[in-house]
Chains A and B, each alone.
Chain A
Amino acid sequence: MSIVTVQLGQCGNQIGFEVFDTLFSDSHSSQGLCSKRENEAYRASCKERFFSEEENGVPIARAVLVDMEPKVINQTLSKAARSGRWKYGQHAYFCQKQGSGNNWAYGYSVHGPKHKESILDLIQKEVEKCDSLSGFFIIMSMAGGTGSGIGAFVTQNLQDQYSNSLKMNQIIWPYRTGEVIVQNYNSILTLSHLYRSSDALLVHENDAVHKICAKLMKIRQISFSDMNQVLAHQLGSVFQPTYSAEGSPHYRRNPLDGFKDPALYTSWLKPVDAFNVWKTQRAFSKYEKSATLVSNSQFLVKPLDMIVGKAWNMFASKAYIHQYTKFGIEEEDFLDSFTLLEQVVASYCNL
């Protein structure tokens, strides 16, 4: 069961590289704490999911790289090739010259339709290389123009073209105190569009990852590279091939009981359905033991509410709107997005 990854924009491509690197290192790490046969099975499963084999033995990532300007893609492709251990497909990228100018409207309404065929063709080629496709993993940021705008556009088209496959979007929530001034506009437009076409949105907040680097890892001068590696680490363990199993001797004392507390869950869900445990014998990366928690909870209500609030304030003053209407995103489109997201916030609050 293979996953095709689409990396969009500077953020998507920088993170994508780290993810593949982590996945590769993990599958080839000599640790294992499990039997040789299990390790082989694990390695094969990982490889199959994310890489395809080439004649000279260097695995090729099942990925399509998209950006509207060339610098980052060039860097990403050469970094992978230089490592000698894995690489990206020679023609698996789509690039333009001008960038999207941090403008969601430019990404979604101009670049998207203009390059739809080329991008979807590249994705199709990757899909054809898979024996069986389990779904798409789309890595993008919300704050800029390419990842956010073209990401939304591509996800929508994947929904139309591959309606039976899962689409999971890895979205990067920007720092609260700005990287991009119009990030709140770009974020609400992205989220409202993804809501209609994506199956799952896996969220990482820059502020949170930054805190991990500072407080837990004690890195003094944190770079985006550090942050992306932490992210890739988390994603890598989420993607580990697993067995759903009960009664493994290692978990006898079952600290997981705490998760079965019904107070954590909504009234219409039984804990046994809401909480799923997947175990794998094979250790992840260099660790002896590790646990990863992926949750769908009210955690995100506060950040979402904050972004909607700030975007609304800015919208009320009409600031920057001319930059969006220039490319076909009108005030009604903004209002539609606000309405949808207020509904999401309300739904989560009413749980």
Chain B
Amino acid sequence: MTQSVVVQVGQCGNQIGCCFWDLALREHAAVNQKGIYDEAISSFFRNVDTRVAGDGGSISRGKICSLKARAVLIDMEEGVVNEILQGPLRDVFDSKQLITDISGSGNNWAVGHKVFGRLYQEQILEKLRKSAEHCDCLQCFFVIHSMGGGTGSGLGTFLLKVLEDEFPEVYRFVTSVYPSSEDDVITSPYNSILAMKELNEHADCVLPIDNQSLFDIISKIDLVVNSRKLDTTVKPKSLVTSSVGALKKQHKKPFDAMNNIVANLLLNLTSSARFEGSLNMDLNEISMNLVPFPQLHYLVSSLTPLYTLADVNIPPRRLDQMFSDAFSKDYQLIRADPKHNLYLACALMVRGNVQISDLRRNIERLKPSLKFVSWNQEGWKTSLCSVPPVGHSHSLLALANNTCVKPTFMELKGRFMRLYKKKAHLHHYLQVEGMEESCFTEAVSSLSALIQEYNQLEATESVPVPDLPRLSVA
């Protein structure tokens, strides 16, 4: 089995990362009753004998001694990381795997990317190499960051290039939180577009998320939880937003509920690689199946169910409802409507007590209402993992490579252009060494080219092109 390393960058990245580790521990504790350090746990955690000084303490099998997250925490301000290190999760992190500064990046991509990138390049490399050395077989780096600020956006994308150069064989999966249109950081469009160029060029796979969608999902859940229906009660642990059973007892921060959704996304994404099932799906299969052309690697995700009701017997209709919901625009983690746009590829990752016939039945049922590109009419990738998430009997993660991301990107480009035309706030960026106007124009071109690719796909679909004639043999 392989290992993955999480690199959490900036305030957003670290807060989400913290929720992720909390829920990961909860999940493994639920599955691994005997406290034996097994391969599933080793995918994200090291087992360390804390009595041994230095690096010699790694234990590869046997009872769990002390679990350390395979993580590198980076922030150019100390506040968030310090809070993590003083909180209930402090023992989960290796103090040597942190990089912090005090001044912050001032919501400026250029400061994060050029200034701090240069300053901390050696340290970053060193921490990454260390974490790689602790792995038997490192398969994937998960980078978590936001696009709208300075550190996550700038330094987070700087290290993508470092990862690509230093570990070319290891996958780079990036979870990026995009700024909503009501974002309070004025320069977030600049930061996002500059970061997107890096994502286009150096990420294997990007899972875009936006805060507004997460917020809407929470509102939906609150409606159900607070409604006074006497015959239906929600199982607290099952809420996709909950921390019940985890180390952090309550939602201390307003974003905790939203961050838990993203944490659950990452857990479900890796579940079939960590746990057994009748149809396994490893991380390298994600990009193999969902990325038909290298540049088109943005995957829209949706998680269902958002909660489980307390009734024990789930009739098959509920199971089918789970599949239907996954394609509804209300369940996507980014503002997008895949159902009414063009699919290039789709993956359904199912956990729990679901069998192949349930999967097939639902694919047959939903297929007619979905538009797939002509050369991938039956482009479904499926996986069945036997272990359900905590609090659920089954769950579904749908990943779509779909042209529905285009409107999001176009809107972002629009916001960028409105600022750029007036040269608003540009001087903050240009005064950073290494930054020129060409950085901006190149970044916009990169995004425009990407949008154009999606346009082309949609264009070819609206005008049916005759199939290339088959080879004829004598």
Which residues of A are at the interface with B, using a C-beta cutoff of 8 A? 10, 14, 69-72, 75, 97-99, 101-103, 145, 175-182, 210, 213-214, 219-225, 227, 308-310, 312-314, 316-320, 322-323, 335, 338-339, 342-343, 346
Q: Is the CB of A179 within 8 A of B382?
A: yes
Could you tell me the distance between the alpha carbons of A130 and B380 in the complex, rounded to whole angstroms?
43
Residue positions of B touching A, CB distance < 8 A: 1-2, 39, 136-137, 139, 276, 278-280, 282, 284-285, 287-294, 344-345, 355-358, 360, 363-364, 367, 374-382, 384, 467-468, 470-473
Which of A71, A323, A338 touches B276 (beta carbons < 8 Å)? Answer: A71
B363 A177 Cβ-Cβ under 8 A: yes
A224 touches B278 (CB 8 A): yes
Say whether B380 contacts A317, CB under 8 Å: no
Complex contact A342–B284 (CB within 8 A) = no
Chain B residues lying within 8 Å of A175, measured Cβ to Cβ, are 360
- Selected from B284, B377, B378, the residue in CB contact (under 8 A) with A98 is B284
CB-based contact B470/A308 at 8 Å? yes
Task: Please indicate the chain A residues that have their CB under 8 angstroms from the CB of B276 in the complex.
Answer: 71-72, 75
Kindly state the separation between the CA atoms of A323 and B290 in the bound complex, as whole angstroms.
11
Specify which chain A residues have a CB less than 8 angstroms from the CB of B289 in the assembled complex: 102, 180-182
Residue pair B357, A317 in contact (C-beta under 8 Å)? no
A-B contact pairs, 14 of them (CB 8 A): A97-B1, A98-B2, A99-B284, A181-B345, A181-B376, A223-B278, A223-B356, A224-B279, A225-B278, A320-B292, A323-B291, A338-B470, A342-B472, A343-B473
The CA of A319 and the CA of B379, in the complex, are separated in Å by 12
Residue from B2, B287, B293, B374 within 8 A of A313 (CB atoms):
B374
Complex Cα spacing A93 to B133, Å: 27
A147 to chain B minimum Cβ distance, whole angstroms, is: 12
Which residue of chain B has the shortest Cβ distance to A314 in the bound complex? B375
* Interface contacts beyond A101-B284, A312-B467: sample of 13 additional A-B pairs, CB < 8 Å, sorted by A: A99-B2, A102-B288, A178-B379, A180-B289, A181-B290, A181-B345, A210-B356, A223-B355, A224-B279, A313-B467, A316-B468, A342-B470, A346-B473
Check A314–B376 contact: CB distance below 8 A.
Answer: yes
Q: Chain A CB within 10 Å — which of B289, B290, B291, B467 has the most? A: B289
The number of A-B residue pairs with CB atoms under 8 Å apart is 138
* Alpha-carbon distance between A99 and B279 when the two chains are bound, in angstroms: 13
B384 contact set on A, CB distance < 8 A:
224
Do residues B473 and A181 form an inter-chain contact, with CB atoms below 8 A?
no
Closest to B277 in A: A71
Provide the residues of chain B in CB contact with A322, threshold 8 Å.
293-294
For the complex, what is the distance from the CA of A99 to the CA of B379, rounded to whole Å?
A: 21
Inter-chain contacts of A314 with B (CB < 8 A): 375-376
Taking CB atoms, residues of chain B closer than 8 Å to A222 are: 355-357
Taking a contact as CB atoms closer than 8 A, the residue among A72, A98, A176, A182 that contacts B280 in the complex is A72
Report how far A313 CA is from B284 CA in the complex, Å.
24
Q: How far is the CB of B317 from chain A (nearest CB, A)?
A: 14
**Nearest-CB residue, chain A, relative to B296:** A319
Inter-subunit contact B471/A181 (CB<8 Å): no
Residue of A nearest to B364 (CB): A177
